Amino acid sequence: MARTPFTAEILTPEGSVFKDDVELVSTMTTIGSIGIMAGHEPVLARLEPTELRLYRSESDVVRYAQAEGYLQVAQGRVLVLVEEAIEPSRLDAAQLEDRLATARHALEAAEEGSEQAARAQGDVRRAEAFLAILRGSR
């Protein structure tokens, strides 16, 4: 069954990663998973590191390893603002393992409740999520 298309855009600090019409956007917010279709009510949500899926159709799915950021649904479009959005085929297991080890070390060294601890915890979550996406895409 065809769904009504709408525009979805992904922006990172480096610029636009994706902008096209889609039928469904699926991602993870801080309070749970969310699926966005045409006509969705306006939403502003914080995003967790996960696999972002953009369905152009049931058989054409664009996937990204999505870092933390924000999701905005307004005026019939979806805007995803994230620190990173990487195609799963471009993920490097060794690099991600190094990032995870560095983040865990930083977390252990940081004072509990500090900004450094919060940043390191976020880096751990992102590296773990990206590794899970990489392992799931093989």
Per-residue model confidence as pLDDT tens digits over 99-122: 999 999 999 999 999 999 999 999
Rg (CA), the chain: 16
- pLDDT by residue (tens digit) across 14-28? 999 999 999 999 999
Distance from C-alpha of 135 to C-alpha of 66, rounded to nearest angstrom: 15
**Are the C-beta atoms of residues 96 and 127 closer than 8 Å to each other?**
yes
- pLDDT by residue (tens digit) across 65-91? 999 999 999 999 999 999 999 999 999
Neighbours of 47 (CB within 10 A): 21
Q: In the numeric block, which tokens belong to residue 55? A: 């369905």
Q: Is residue 89 exposed (0-12), middle (13-18) or buried (19+ Cβ within 10 Å)?
A: exposed
Positive or negative, the CA dihedral 54, 81, 121, 34 is negative
Q: What pTM value is reported for the model? A: 0.90
CATH class of the structural domain 6-86: mainly beta
- pLDDT by residue (tens digit) across 24-66? 999 999 999 999 999 999 999 999 999 999 999 999 999 999 9
Q: Is the pLDDT of residue 138 over 50?
A: no
Distance from C-alpha of 88 to C-alpha of 10, rounded to nearest angstrom: 15
Confidence of residue 2 (pLDDT cuts 50, 70, 90): low
